[in-house]
Structure 1
Amino acid sequence: MKDIYELLNDVNVDDHEFEEMTVTEFEKAKVKSALKKSISKKNKRRGWKMNVAAAALVVGLSTVTIGLTFPAYAGNIPIIGDIFRFLDNEKTGLYDNYKEYSTEMNLTQDSNGIKITINDAVFDGETVAITYSIESDRDLGEAPSTLHLGSADIKGATGAAGSSHVTKVDDYHYVGLDKITPFGLTSDMADINWKIRSILRTDTGEKIKGNWKFAFSLPAIDSQFQLTNQSVEKNGVTVNIEKVAFTPMSFIVHYNQKATQEVQDKWHEAYIELEIKDDLGNVYTGEGNGGSGKDAYTISWSKTFEKLDPNATKLIVTPHVTFRIHDETNSGGVEITADGKEKEISIPVKSGVGREEFIMDDIVIELEK
């Protein structure tokens, strides 16, 4: 049975009939991977004819891909020039400029048939972002996790929040992005020890044990801070925008929240989400970096947003508040006692029901130039 590339060889193609369309980094990588595997299976005597058909298909996808080849990298993983944007699938724009300001690492560790290579890393002064490639001798599923028994320790930090995103590129090849936000770090240098002791197949629950260790340091990229200390209050909740940090690729909003005793007696949680736009009409996409506080009502947070428009003169911050009641479907758990036994954590009774949402007044920040 002929595959699609053989069928293309039998078609008379007029390249003027193709409609140009934009494709994402993810789609480009998938096409390159499929083409590479198909080309490698064919007899060399037919190679010229096959390459012509392959080129025609790439042109049909996007003129941006013309001239791309299939060099090897980190064990024949198809070239992905910008893993930040690849994993974002070029949807949010948050990672559009991360590659430009990152440090190329190319650190590799091999364990139990799985090779992990740290490609790039960047420290924006708040969060460390690490991209990496995985080459495996077995299928790890569509979205394996490195967080199951992995940890990134940053010297001088009192704690950390983090996230991980791994996706499959082709058979046995994956790329990932891990973000770590250290709490209490006062240095402008992040000294990182990243240890992965297991990779989890999230589809089957299988754990592949190994020993992947990395140690490296990252200086914080240049940033400028603007203190704001502007607050808004509504329905017993106060939100204060403490400061904003501006980097060449993003801006980071530091804010805190507190709630009255009346709110605490009625609800288990008061959650704040920020919507941010500027005076030019741009609406900014962001990702939370986690937070710390004494309870679910008094917390300091930070959130990273995409690169600021240089012509903007104001930021308009709109806090969205959600009150929640916890039950067995969204909360609860166990704690380990001193003697090693599990103790169920009870959910205190509150008078609220379900959830309640409202929008607070805008906080307008005049940008210093």
Structure 2
Amino acid sequence: MSMKEWIDLDIDKLELLEVTDIEKAQVKQNVLNKRKKSPIWRHIAVAAVMIVGATTATGFAFPSFASQIPFMDNVISYFNNEEQHYKNFETFSTNIDLAQTSNGVTVMIDNAVYDGTNVTVSFAIETNHEFGKEMHMSAPNWFDAVGASGSSGGGSQITKISDTRYVGLSTFTPRFKDDVSPETVEVTWTPHAFYSMSNDLEVEGDWSFAFSLKRLEGDIQLVNETVLHKDMSFTLQSVEFTDVSTVILYEQVVTDELLKEWPSVSPVFYVTDDLGHVYLNGSGGSGMSPDNGKTFNGTAALGAIQEGASQLIIQPVEIASLMSGKGHIEIELDPIIVDLKK
């Protein structure tokens, strides 16, 4: 729909649809503040606001405007690389299409997916502030899930794609009571500020998002194979496969002697298949310890497995550290081979 069509749209002729409470909240969040000399995609969003004002009070939906923004077409494509392939993300993720502008920075959430363990969100940012090559989110304003006791692991990447535009990708692992993941999660995000260290710039703003995600169906393959070291045991408990991700669940137990010498011990993973595809190349996971590091339960996520592969080769390497950059050693454990079910 063109800008002129948005403006000329007869609201009285709209077909009004009943929506849920979460959808009502999403409608309210799509209000964009118009700025002078705004790019054309912002004008489209402002036109959409006219419809929001007419429909919010009665709780009815309006057409999505995110599809009108060319560089938002496939944010995930900017993050595909040799190690991490976000296969099927666009197909199986949920279109979120939320946008807000504050203090000259427009943030739009593109797509998101919940695989039962991790939540991955793709987003984009447009601004005329001079952030330069690197933009970061100020901590601790992270993605969160309603009802979770906290979250662990994950990370965020923001990549510059033009003078005024950035694309981002964030993943986090919400932790729920008794480690039972719900069928639906309600995700919230209130980024307080974005900053650039190279340009000595921080821009605060008032952005706040909320949306709901249903859990992807997945297949769990139990493994329960343990590899031993004189100072620890590592058990690969299971591997869960979905259309967009593969999640490793593990438990490790380390000795008091090792923790006395190295107070932090956590694994990174090297994961390949029998065809030579590389999924993780020394990447860590997320997890929690109930006893100050002696027992550690965690997950590590990788992309969907390539077609034709019949085995996963998973090698954990323990990083025993003094923390704060004071030194570390690497403890290489034997690889675990998982025969993939056909």
Q: How high is the TM-score relative to the length of structure 2? A: 0.72
Cα distance in 1 for partners of 2:275, 2:66 equals: 43
**Contact 2:82 / 2:278 at 8 angstroms: preserved in 1?**
no
Letter in 2 for 1:137: N
The match for 1:321 among 310, 313, 318 is 318
Q: 1:322/1:117 Cα in 2 relative to 1: closer, same or farther (>3 Å)? A: closer
Q: 1:140/1:283 Cα in 2 relative to 1: closer, same or farther (>3 Å)? A: closer
**Contact 1:148 / 1:200 at 8 angstroms: preserved in 2?**
no
Cα distance in 2 for partners of 1:289, 1:325 equals: 19
Across the aligned residues of Structure 1 and Structure 2, the Cα RMSD in angstroms comes to 2.5
Match of 2:221?
Answer: 226
Q: 1:149/1:257 Cα in 2 relative to 1: closer, same or farther (>3 Å)? A: closer
Cα distance in 1 for partners of 2:220, 2:67 equals: 42
**Contact 2:288 / 2:296 at 8 angstroms: preserved in 1?**
yes
Cα distance in 2 for partners of 1:325, 1:206 equals: 33
Q: 1:206/1:148 Cα in 2 relative to 1: closer, same or farther (>3 Å)? A: farther
1:290-309 to 2 correspondences below 5 Å:
290-293=286-289, 294-309=291-306
Task: Report the 3-state secondary structure (helix = DSSP H, G, I; strand = E; otherwise coil) of the residue aligned with 1:264.
Answer: helix
Q: 1:135/1:75 Cα in 2 relative to 1: closer, same or farther (>3 Å)? A: farther
Match of 1:365?
Answer: 338
Note the C-alpha offset of 1:262: 2.2
**Contact 2:246 / 2:301 at 8 angstroms: preserved in 1?**
yes
Matched, 1:169 2:166: no
Matched, 1:198 2:165: no
**Contact 1:110 / 1:116 at 8 angstroms: preserved in 2?**
yes
**Contact 1:148 / 1:199 at 8 angstroms: preserved in 2?**
no
Letter in 1 for 2:151: A
Match of 1:283?
Answer: 278
Cα distance in 2 for partners of 1:106, 1:223 equals: 25
Letter in 1 for 2:320: F
Match of 2:43?
Answer: none
Cα deviation digits, residues 283-310 of structure 1 (max 9, x gap): 3237544211132342111111222134
Note the C-alpha offset of 1:192: 1.0
**Contact 1:146 / 1:199 at 8 angstroms: preserved in 2?**
yes
Note the C-alpha offset of 1:77: 6.7
Cα deviation digits, residues 169-192 of structure 1 (max 9, x gap): 212211111112101252021101
Letter in 2 for 1:166: I
After alignment, is 100-109 or 308-317 more displaced? 308-317
**Contact 2:96 / 2:112 at 8 angstroms: preserved in 1?**
yes
Match of 2:231?
Answer: 236
Letter in 2 for 1:292: M
Percent of matched pairs sharing the same residue = 28
The match for 1:126 among 106, 112, 117 is 117
Note the C-alpha offset of 1:76: 9.4
Note the C-alpha offset of 1:97: 2.8
Cα distance in 2 for partners of 1:268, 1:149 equals: 24
Cα distance in 1 for partners of 2:210, 2:196 equals: 25
Structure 2 unaligned blocks of 5 or more: 1-64
Q: How high is the TM-score relative to the length of structure 1? A: 0.67
How many residues are paired up? 272
Cα deviation digits, residues 92-120 of structure 1 (max 9, x gap): 24223322221122111111121111111
Match of 2:139?
Answer: 148
Match of 1:160?
Answer: 151
**Contact 2:122 / 2:169 at 8 angstroms: preserved in 1?**
yes
Q: 1:279/1:149 Cα in 2 relative to 1: closer, same or farther (>3 Å)? A: closer
Structure 1 unaligned blocks of 5 or more: 1-72, 332-353
Letter in 2 for 1:182: P
Cα distance in 2 for partners of 1:75, 1:143 equals: 26
Cα deviation digits, residues 125-157 of structure 1 (max 9, x gap): 111111111111322222212243523220121
Letter in 1 for 2:287: G
Matched, 1:252 2:243: no
Match of 1:79?
Answer: 71
**Contact 1:107 / 1:117 at 8 angstroms: preserved in 2?**
yes
Cα distance in 2 for partners of 1:209, 1:221 equals: 35
Cα distance in 2 for partners of 1:269, 1:183 equals: 21
Cα distance in 1 for partners of 2:200, 2:292 equals: 33
Cα distance in 2 for partners of 1:305, 1:282 equals: 12
Q: 1:325/1:187 Cα in 2 relative to 1: closer, same or farther (>3 Å)? A: same
Cα deviation digits, residues 204-260 of structure 1 (max 9, x gap): 443211111111101111111112211110121110111110011221101121111
Cα deviation digits, residues 29-84 of structure 1 (max 9, x gap): xxxxxxxxxxxxxxxxxxxxxxxxxxxxxxxxxxxxxxxxxxxx979975254222
Q: 1:192/1:300 Cα in 2 relative to 1: closer, same or farther (>3 Å)? A: same
Match of 2:26?
Answer: none
